[in-house]
Structure 1
Amino acid sequence: MAGLNPDSPIPTEIKLHQKSRILELAFENGERFELTYEFLRVFTPSAEARGHGPGQEKLQIGKRDVDIVSIEPVGNYAIKPVFSDGHDSGLYSWDVLHNLCVHRDELWQAYLDKLAAEGGSRDLADCPAPAVKPPPSCGSKH
């Protein structure tokens, strides 16, 4: 079984390069690719980031310095990276990974364009702190 699509190439090698923050992939068809940890985090297939349909995507900001802490295999069809920002719900099937590899440059440019249009930043220090909802005050009606 390849990915979720039976025609997807299967990775024969998956290497983490911690210093350069690169995931190196070799596929059974001879293709080799490198994806940055930031790219993988930005393009997580997780519903938390992608939503459940078109238009529900959340722009991922402040991910430039994210690390991959570990990678867990998921059956014979995917991997689940655990990122240093706590994100661990993205399952990267072989077909998703191969698609990210093949379309890396145009996906990255589209991301940079959207980030610029929305005033976002790749750097965490430049991102606003998440809004925290204050607890209800004593005696208030909910």
Structure 2
Amino acid sequence: MGERMTGHCLCGAVQVEATHDGAPKLRACHCDMCRRHGSGPFFSINARVLSVAGPAQSYRSSDWAERGFCGTCGSTLWYGTVADGVRHLSAGLFDNAGGGTLAVEFFADACPQGYALAGSQKKLTTQETIALFAPREEIDQ
């Protein structure tokens, strides 16, 4: 089942449990919405959500995505894809970002000029990121 992790929001009202296989990987997103939501890139961790307890709320931020937050302190909890219900948990919920290492940057071509993330992680462009996450249009036959 993988290694179990527990985390919480800033005020502790929302508790999360998740698992990951092997070494945790971090992902950074530089899209406009993530930067507006948190004033910088959104860092998520590749973990499977087991439970979310407490006053978690979500905001539908696009046709295919939602953003979770604590209803008490406002901490970012997740970025979720609506079609499949997958929640990409905020790395900040876990001590030391779950011990993860940065593996990929989404919307790397939208990263502001004022900063850059060091490392050899994969950097996906806007077009590559949208192709990965946007729902596929069904073809009428």
TM-score over 0.5 (shorter chain): no
Looking at secondary structure, tell me which structure has more helix per residue.
Answer: 1
TM-score, with normalisation over the residues of structure 1?
0.29
Q: Which has the higher strand share?
A: 2
